[in-house]
Each structure stands twice: as C-alpha cells, then as structure tokens.
Structure 1
C-alpha cells in the first residue's frame, strides 16, 4: 500500500529538527517511553514512503510522455496486445487501450529492440503481450476485481483461486507497467529463414494466476523450465529483470522514471 500525506502537509526529512540531535533524540525516548517511540518511528517510515510515492505525469499524449512505439524500431516484431481485445482476464478491451500497440520509454524500447536482434540471430523471436499500461487501465482491473459476480474468465485465468483472493496479490492499485519500462512477453522459435515461428511451451498462458506461473515453479516440465530460463537469459543480457511470480514479466533496470506514472491512452 502506498501512503500519501494529506494535502498541505509537509514531510519531515532526515537530518532536520530534533531528530538530528542525539541529546534531543534521547530526551524524546525518555519522555514518551519505548512504546510511543516505536509509534513515532513507524510514522517516520510512513513519511519517508510518502516521499517516494509515485507521482502521476501531467503528460496528455505519448509524445509528451516520451513514449515510443516499439515498431518504430522493429517494424515486424510479433505482437498480440491482449488488453486491446477480449482475450484477457477481464474478457473485454481494457480502459485506455484504443489500439493494439506496444509503447515504451525510449531506453526500454531500445533495450527491447536489442533483445529481439540478438534472438533473431539464434532463430528465435519475441512476442509482446503488454508494454506501457495507462493508470486508468489499472483502475479498470481493480474495478473488475471488486465485481465478484463476473466469473467469465475463471477457467482460463484463475481456475484454482477464488476471485476474492486476486485483489492485492495478483491485481494491485499501482502497476510498474504504468512507468513505461515494463513488458509482458514470450518467445517463439522460427525456421532458419525467419518464417513459420511457433511459441515455446512455457507451461501457462499469459496472466495465469497461480503458483504455476512463477518463473521457477515446481511441477512444470524440464522443457518448460528451460524455455523460461532461455527467455530470462535473453532479457537479462540487455538489462531487464524478471518478476519471479510471473515468467512473462520484465522491467528494465534501472527504470528511466521510477517514481512517475503515466496515464496517456495507447492509441
């Protein structure tokens, strides 16, 4: 959970006021007692977290946010942008996706293009499922998660879980995708001439909620595990880090704008 200060409040910074002076610090401990001091320390942690809370960019267009279409770098990269259609866990186009495009901040787009270039030399290719994700799309996910009556996609995406368990574990109110440097993707193996590409067996489809989607999940076959590791090695070579609970999820490190969220539509 992200904590924010009330409007008009000012954060207390380390090294200012009485907390920077050892005598005053000790006096506070003696005056308030250990229990009260623990509460005060917890409050300071909340303040520090608030200082790092992500801020929403005022950008209204992809150009203003410095988001670029990956196909401006790799015109024929394989895409199946799930949230622009109905083949996803919501079962319909998601708010903010007006076109099936992969937008990323330039450093992430450049790095992803390098991954694709390296893989093609080995007769593999990437297939993209999601890239930058507008903040309004994340809000749409949360709204869907609260509607427990809508169970249409349970067999495909969360067959072993109650929908009430998705919020907070698999669906969060803030997504790293909204920072413009995270991608969801898989790999394909192609013929020597680059045609007839077929997806590798990864053990689950996209947005499968459960332990089986963990990158090193127990119970998957040796081939499936090797395919996940092959993808991870290719992505790590260009600076992407895997989220271990989702074999398809990668974020460029360090992120270009780690404390900025974007909400421009994908169009």
Structure 2
C-alpha cells in the first residue's frame, strides 16, 4: 500500500475510533467510578474477588487506547450471538485485554495495514459471569432460538461434550481474543434484526449473515467442525485468509486454538491461573 494511501487509511480509522470512543464514554455506566484494584492469585486457579467488583488489575487496558485503528464488533453486548440475547457482564462494546496482548495486537495491526487490511475484534476479556450465563443457557435444552445459524448440525445436548461450552474460559484471564481480518476500506456489517430468518454459519459468504470480514469459510462462533482452523475442507481463498490471520498473530506471540479459526491467546499469559469477573466497561479500567 503506498504511504499516502496508508496515511489516509490510518486517519480515517483513527477518526472512526475517536467517534466510537466519544459515544461509549458517554454511555450509561461510564462515569469513571473506581475502586481498589484486584490482585491475581498465583497459587492455583481462582476467580477474582466478588461477582460485582468494578475494577480490573492495573495490567488491563481498553484496546482503543493502545491500538485505536483496530475495528470492533463486540457481539456479546448484542442479541446477535448463539444465545440470542445480550450476555451478562458486557456493559459497553469494548475490548479489554492485558497490556502485553493489546500491544501485540497493535504490532499485528501495523503489519496488516501495510497490506490493505485491518484487524476486527469480536470478543476479548470475558467476565466469569458471562461464562456462567453461557452455561445456564446450554443447560436449557428448550432454548434453541439461534440454532439455525450457530449450531445447525450439533444437538444442543452435546455442547459440553463436544467442547463448545465450558464452565471456565481462557478469555476470563485477559489475554485471549476472538478476531478476524477486514479488507480496507471496510464495508459496513449488516444489521441483525431479532426474529429474522437465520442462515447456517457455514453457508457461502454471500448467503450467511453479512459480516465485513474477509471470507473465512464460516462465520464467527460457528459451532461446527468447519471452524477448525486447518479443516481440510476449507481451501483456496478461505484457507489463505485463515493462514494470514494465524501467521500474522503468531509473529507477535499469539497461539491459535485449532478448533476455532478466530480464537487466539497471547503467551506468556500474565494471569494464567486467574478467572476475573469485573464487567466489560470503561469504569473497570479507568484510572490506570
């Protein structure tokens, strides 16, 4: 990408990020309330203090303050996810991560911008209460309102057995992120209308939910073996796009979860044994 075009792209992305920042800063719950930072335990797996603790350890940051050009599509604050409703613990559409993970994403973003692409995050730090919400939903076998899109070939009774839902998530440790690549200039993501006809997440890109991601072969959070990063059925451009994401992130210290092309963890993790539960909001990290 010529430098003049790169500069224009960066200015446009920065302006968009600034506008989003202004909107989120004024949203309910962004008053800046602070409290004593939690300290991560080191003697074994633990959950951070109190289910409603408002603050994160000082090692956590909001991604936009570190890498403002990375695009955001935080699905779990919306009803467009595998449960069909906003998820507990998501108060604002933010990506919160440990600082090393956020800084690594900034380096990956610079690499992709030079090639005419941008990263886009779907989910970052995930409170334990959100994981608990997933577990409650998975146990309610009667609630299949989003099955046709997110798990059409999987019986809901097998979500735990097949590993799609678990009682703990690496996301709650703060160094794991779900993300994709978007070709610049970014097209808008299609609006989701609750109750609309759902299309399987593995359908051809032109048929499934309109996401501005490059074609990865499936949509985000597709509970299907086609989501495995190196599934041999995924070839051509789709496979090349997955490999571009994987290699770009590997170069800055991220490891991919083989079962999910979108899932990456920055190593070494700052908090490998602690599952935090502060909400996803500005007030959780403000004042750091």
Q: Match of 1:205?
A: 219
TM score, norm. by length of structure 1: 0.76
* Among 226, 245, 260, the residue aligned to 2:259: 245
Q: What are the within-5 Å matches in structure 2 for residues 41-190 of structure 1?
A: 53-58=44-49, 60-64=53-57, 66-168=59-161, 169-190=163-184
- What displacement does 1:61 show? 3.2
Contact 1:67 1:105 (C-alpha < 8 Å) held by counterparts: yes
The 3 A distance-change label for structure 1 pair 149 and 262 is same
Between 1:132-141 and 1:57-66, the stretch displaced more is 57-66
- What displacement does 1:257 show? 0.9
Q: 1:159-190, CA deviations, whole angstroms, 9 ceiling, x for partnerless residues?
A: 00100000241100000000000000000111
Between 1:108-117 and 1:96-105, the stretch displaced more is 108-117
Name the CA distance, whole Å, in 1 between partners of 2:43 and 2:111.
36
Name the CA distance, whole Å, in 1 between partners of 2:219 and 2:92.
22
**RMSD of aligned alpha carbons:** 1.7
Which structure shows the higher helix fraction? 1
Q: Match of 1:260?
A: 274
Q: 1:188-232, CA deviations, whole angstroms, 9 ceiling, x for partnerless residues?
A: 1115xxx65842100001110111000011222311111100000
Contact 1:65 1:262 (C-alpha < 8 Å) held by counterparts: no
- What displacement does 1:261 show? 1.1
* Larger relative contact order, structure 1 or 2 (CA cutoff 8 Å, min sep 6): 2
- What displacement does 1:71 show? 0.2
Name the CA distance, whole Å, in 1 between partners of 2:246 and 2:147.
28
- What displacement does 1:53 show? 4.3
Q: Unmatched 5+ residue regions in structure 1?
A: 1-50
SS of match in other structure, 2:100: helix
Larger-gyration structure (1/2):
1
Contact 2:67 2:105 (C-alpha < 8 Å) held by counterparts: no
Number of aligned residue pairs: give it.
214
- What displacement does 1:252 show? 0.4
Contact 1:62 1:68 (C-alpha < 8 Å) held by counterparts: no
Contact 2:67 2:106 (C-alpha < 8 Å) held by counterparts: yes
Name the CA distance, whole Å, in 1 between partners of 2:79 and 2:43.
35
Contact 2:56 2:278 (C-alpha < 8 Å) held by counterparts: no
Q: 1:72-122, CA deviations, whole angstroms, 9 ceiling, x for partnerless residues?
A: 012232100010111100111000001110000111111111111221111
TM score, norm. by length of structure 2: 0.71
